[in-house]
Amino acid sequence: SSEVLEAIENVIQGVLQSLAQKKAPVLTVANRADWRNIEFKDSVGLQMIPGSTAKQIRSDCPQSARRFALMLKILSMIYKMVQSNTYATKRDIYYSDTLLFGSQSVVDQIINDISCMLKIPRRSLHVLSTTKGFVAGNLSYTEEDGTKVNCTCSATAVTVPSNVQGIKNLTSHAKFILIVEKDATFQRLLDDDFFNKVSPCIMITGRGIPDLNTRLLVRKLWDSFQIPIFTLMDADPHGVEIMCVYKYGSVSMSFEAHHLTVPSVKWLGLLPSDLKRLNICKDALIPFTKQDENKLASIQKRPYIACQPLWKKELEIMAASKLKAEIQVLTSVSSDYLSRVYLPNKLQFGGWL
C-alpha cells in the first residue's frame, strides 16, 4: 500500500510543480485502445509495448479539463481507501456522486486509466468490480475473510469472488476446467450434473464477455492446478471473440496481460466444422449480419490467428458459410445431447483445437 500511496503522491506533486511554475498541469496516460501499442507474444497474449504512445489529459483544454478533474477526484478517493484499508466497487464510486461522474462507464474508464498510468493493478488500488461470473464443480477455497466456500456440493453455482487475489487454500480433484460462454448453457450443464458424470471438473461462466474477476479466477485456477482448460462457445464471431479474451486478453486491459491471460486455453466447441459433421439442419442455423461479417474479418486479421492454423481454418469455414449457431442448436439432435454425447466424446477423443 505504501507503493500505491507514493505513486499517487508523485502524480499530485507533478500537478503542484506545474502550478508553481504557472503552467497548466497535465496527466499522461498510455493510449490503451490503440493496436499500435500492442504486441502479441505467444506466452502472454496481447501486451502493451514499453514506450507506447500516450495521450495527455490537460487541465487547460476544454475537451479534457473535466476528465482531468474527475481523475484527480478518483485519485483522492483511492488514496483515502488505501490509507484506511477499505474497499469500494466501481459502482460505489459512481453512486458517491452520480451528477459529477455522469455515467458508470466514465468511472470504469478512468479507473483503468489510473491503473495503467500508475502501473498498479486495479485490486491494489482497493477498487473491486462487481462480479457477474459463476463457478461450480470440484473446487473449494477460503475467501480473504476466512469464509470457506465449497463449489462441489452445491446444486446452484457460486458467484466468482470479488477479491480473487485474496482467496487461498484452493483444493480440487478436477481433471479439467470448462469455460462456458453463456449462463443458459452453464445452468443446463449444472442441471445435468455434468461436472460429476464425465470426470470431476470445474465449470466457469463469465455470462458473455467476462469481467475482470472471472478472468482473474481462470488464471488463478490455471496457476494453481495446471490442468487443461477448454472453452464452450457459440459458433459465431462473438463467441470466438470471447474465447480470445480468455486466452490472449483484450486490447484495453493489455497493460495487465500478465495477470489475466491463459494462452493454454483450448477451443472445444462449438466448432463451425462440427455443424457439418453432426448434420445440423441448415434451418437451425442463423444467417450472418453485417456486424458479424465485420467482427469476423477483424478477428481474422489479428496477430494471434496467424499462429493458430486450425483456428484459422474454422474461421474460414464460418466466413464461407455466412452462418452461425448457438450451442443450443445441439438440442435439435436431442435434449441432453450436449452433456450426454457431444462433450464426453470431444473430451475422450481429443476433439479440441
- Residue at 81: amino acid letter: M
pLDDT at 154: 61
Q: What are phi and psi of 270, to 5 degrees?
A: -80, 120
Helix axis angle, 290-300 relative to 237-248, nearest 10°? 30
pLDDT at 79: 93
Helix axis angle, 290-300 relative to 309-321, nearest 10°? 160
DSSP 35-104: GGGEEEETTTEEEEPTT--EEEEESSSTTTHHHHHHHHHHHHHHHHHHHHT--EEHHHHHHH-HHHH-SH
pLDDT at 57: 85
Residues contacting 193, CB < 8 A, separation 6+:
none
- Are the beta carbons of 244 and 304 closer than 8 angstroms? yes
- Angle at CA 257, nearest 5°, toward 36 and 64? 55
pLDDT at 150: 86
Task: Tell me how far apart the alpha carbons of residues 227 and 138 are, in angstroms, rounded to a whole number.
Answer: 13
- Residue at 295: amino acid letter: K
pLDDT (tens place) for every residue of the chain, 353 residues total: 788 899 989 989 998 999 999 988 888 887 777 777 777 777 778 877 776 667 888 888 888 888 899 999 999 999 999 999 888 888 899 998 889 899 998 998 899 888 888 888 877 888 887 788 999 988 999 988 888 988 886 667 888 888 888 888 999 998 999 999 998 889 888 888 887 777 888 999 998 889 888 999 999 999 999 999 999 999 999 999 999 889 988 777 776 777 788 888 999 988 999 888 888 878 888 898 999 989 999 888 888 888 888 989 999 999 998 888 899 888 877 778 888 888 888 888 887 88
Catalogue all structural domains in the chain, each as residue range(s) with its CATH number. 2-128 (1.10.10.10), 134-349 (3.40.1360.10)
Q: Could you list the active site residues?
A: 95
